[in-house]
């Protein structure tokens, strides 16, 4: 059951690039949560997923003898949910009623870029924190920054009068 959870329904077992597959699966579920339940729920779900995942990953790693194995993608799911929730909140703050697919795509792409390259504090968290907290923290911070970048892009997009996709 832990493997099902940490691999996000086995999406982390897909090759190549399991982190991207896990992020994509997470983004699809995240958009569903947003669409059917709401933006606040998506954001809170990412926080709850972060908190719950720490101890589950600790237990999984102890049993499997691995650390931050590439098949563990629950961290990508939580991170992309944060990114999408921040990006989509920018549409609401800008007064756009139409769902902004461009914002979701930007949130996903910026999240993957930051998660893969791990610049600045994201990389330090990845290198210095151990266990489940280490696995989860860098992705949550990457999601935060990716969401802010996507939100800034959305603001420029709307202010420039470009069509809402």
What is the rounded CA–CA span in Å between residue 75 and residue 152?
24
Helix 39-64 and helix 131-159, axial crossing angle in degrees, nearest 10: 150
Query: pLDDT value at position 98?
Result: 64
| Omega before 16 within 30 of 0, i.e. cis | yes
Residue 158: count other Cβ atoms within 10 Å of its Cβ. Answer: 18
Instruction: Show the 3-state SS of 120-159.
Output: HHHHHHHHHCCHHHHHHHHHHHHHHHHHHHHHHHHHHHHH
- In this prediction, the residues of the chain whose per-residue pLDDT falls under 70 are 97-99, 165
Residue 48 confidence (pLDDT): 98
From first CA to last CA, the distance across the chain in angstroms is 39
Q: What is the DSSP string of 88-130?
A: HHHHHHTT--S--HHHHHHHHHHHHHHHHH--HHHHHHHHH--
Q: Which residue has the tokens 């921040």?
A: 86
Contact between 106 and 56 under an 8 Å Cβ cutoff? The reply is: no
Per-residue pLDDT at 34: 94
pLDDT in tens, 21-45: 999 999 999 999 999 999 999 999 9
């Amino acid at each position: 059951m832990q493997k099902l959870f940490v691999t996000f329904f086995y999406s982390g077992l897909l090759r190549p690039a399991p982190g991207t597959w896990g992020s994509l699966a997470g983004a699809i579920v995240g958009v569903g949560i947003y669409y059917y339940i709401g933006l606040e729920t998506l954001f809170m779900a990412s926080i709850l997923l972060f908190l719950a995942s720490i101890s589950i990953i600790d237990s999984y790693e102890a049993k499997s003898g691995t650390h931050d194995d590439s098949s563990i993608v629950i961290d990508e799911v939580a991170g992309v949910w944060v990114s999408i929730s921040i990006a989509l909140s920018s549409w609401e703050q800008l007064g756009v009623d139409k769902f902004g697919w461009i914002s979701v795509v930007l949130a996903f792409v910026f999240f993957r870029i930051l998660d893969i390259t791990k610049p600045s504090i994201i990389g330090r968290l990845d290198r210095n924190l151990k266990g489940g907290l280490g696995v989860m923290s860098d992705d949550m911070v990457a999601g935060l920054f990716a969401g802010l970048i996507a939100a800034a892009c959305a603001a420029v997009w709307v202010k420039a009068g470009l069509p809402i996709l």
